[in-house]
Amino acid sequence: MNVLLLGSGGREHALAWKLAQSPRLSKLFAAPGNPGIAAHAALVEVDPANHDGVIAFCRENAIGLVVVGPEAPLVDGLGNALRAVGIPVFGPDQAAAQLEGSKGFTKDLCQRAGIPTAGYLRAQSREDALAALPGFGLPVVIKADGLAAGKGVIIAETAAEAEAAVNEMFEGAFGAAGASVVIEEFMTGEEASFFALCDGKTVLPFGSAQDHKRVGEGDTGPNTGGMGAYSPARVLTAELQQRVMDEIITPTARTMAAEGTPYSGVFFAGLMLTAEGPKLIEYNARFGDPECQVLMTRLDEDLLDLLLATAEGRLEGHTPPKMRDEVTLTVVMAANGYPGTPEKGGAIGNIEAAEVDGAKVFHAGTALKDGVLVANGGRVLNVTATGANVTAAQAGAYRAVDAINFATGFCRRDIGWREVERERG
């Protein structure tokens, strides 16, 4: 079978690497891809915003499955366009992708379905938002409703900060995404991510991970897309995972199906493990980046089979995907300046020397310039290793990081710190 993979980051490199191991794969195409993905796929120019163009490409190249990496094409309705002409696609339709595309949509759905999450209020105007603030304690969380590249969340410690955040959003700091806001009660606890496949009806747990969102060591500094992750997240015990399935994932799938917007793809649930139990922070309608890299490295099954069964509504009776027992950890190497303006064009060398003892380097923002691999984005490489526990996987990942030459890049040196501390006992 021929497959078209959309996207260009480390997430898509991990998906391409895993898809390429499938005996069912004939030819993999990736648009636009990156130099790492090029080892597994033919890179092609297909604009995901041009739905007719994607369909024409699929027909010309006998594509049997389209795998959508990032959220934007899903929120833009590419899933609907492909399904309408009978091309299987991994990723939800537009209405179901609102789970990521509109934070207010998700909060309202949680309320209807009785799913545990932070108390909230939606506001469509600055006046309504300012009037609602005194009803919340401090800190309070202010969120732009729409897609804001992970940046539309402000945790305000004081009333003045909260008012400033509201003003900023309605003045357009996050563009159209901030034309409507969600005000939320602040939850405390440890964060973890949980993934589940859903084919519209049936849900299958797909493992857990923990990301590190802040740019600086000790979880300090500005938020990023994620500086490193590991899987599994042992804080999500088997018992807690069952609660997440029963109290969050299954009711979400059931409610969406009952309301005529069945969800097909992967649920990426951001969770807060509070004293009262796991609560939903937010949903994403795609795999996490870099969480996908650690999930794919642990997956002990044919990814193509799984994604196709999801796309074709055949998950019923399927056992949950098998994951290897070991821990996988990935360290993001970013270009200097990230998450602000990253320095482009810095040379990267010695990747092959880093890929020993099972270590794997996924490309994110890289490019080939005159035959030299260079940085071409904020997050540049995802250096991934496996071990019996987080401590061992972390040691392997940093050995690989230290073998790489990337003078204009940096990484956090403490990925996995919470778990390393726990393992030390």
* Residue 118 contact among ligand AMP, ligand GLY, none, beta carbon within 5 to 8 Å by kind: ligand AMP
Kindly state the tokens that stand for 334: 């970013």
Rank residues 12 and 100 by Cβ distance to ligand AMP and give the closer one: 100
Looking at residue 382, its amino acid is N
3-state DSSP assignment of residue 209:
strand
Kindly report whether the peptide bond that precedes residue 139 is cis, defined as omega within 30 degrees of 0.
Answer: yes
Residues within window 122-151 making contact with ligand GLY, judged by CB under 6 A: 150
Q: Please, which residue, 212 or 298, has the CB nearer to ligand AMP?
A: 212
* Closest listed residue to residue 4, CA positions, set 72, 64, 79, 77: 64
| Beta-sheet pairing, 264-274 with 190-199 | antiparallel
**Taking CB under 6 A as the rule, does residue 291 contact ligand GLY?**
yes
141 touches ligand AMP (CB under 6 A): yes
Residue with tokens 């993001």: 332
Q: Which of 83, 213 has the CB closer to ligand GLY?
A: 213
How far is it, in rounded angstroms, from Cα 203 to Cα 182? 28
Per the document, the length of the chain is: 425
Does residue 88 belong to the site contacting ligand GLY (CB under 6 A)? no
Q: How far is the CB of 137 from ligand AMP (least distance, A)?
A: 11
The answer for residues whose C-beta is within 8 angstroms of residue 86's C-beta and 6 or more apart is none
270 contributes a contact to ligand AMP by CB under 6 A: yes
Question: Could you check whether the bond before residue 73 is cis, i.e. omega within 30 degrees of 0?
Answer: no
The smaller minimum CB distance to ligand AMP, of residues 117 and 366, is found at 117
Find the shortest distance in angstroms from Cβ 355 to ligand AMP.
Answer: 31
- The smaller minimum CB distance to ligand GLY, of residues 247 and 289, is found at 289
Q: Which of residues 226-245 bind ligand GLY (CB under 6 A)?
A: 226
- 73's contact among ligand AMP, ligand GLY, none, with CB below 5 to 8 A by partner kind, is none
Measure the CA–CA gap between 355 and 334, rounded to whole angstroms: 18
Asked if 100 is part of the footprint of ligand GLY (rule: CB under 6 A), the reply reads: no
Please, which residue, 71 or 414, has the CB nearer to ligand AMP? 71
Q: 206 by DSSP, 3-state: which?
A: strand
Does residue 355 belong to the site contacting ligand AMP (CB under 6 A)? Answer: no
In the block, residue with structure tokens 């005194």: 134
Shortest CA distance to 27 belongs to which of 70, 58, 50?
58
Question: Residues in the site for ligand GLY, rule: CB under 6 A?
Answer: 150, 211, 225-226, 284, 288-289, 291
Question: Residues in the site for ligand AMP, rule: CB under 6 A?
Answer: 118, 141, 150, 153, 184, 186-187, 191, 213, 270, 281-282
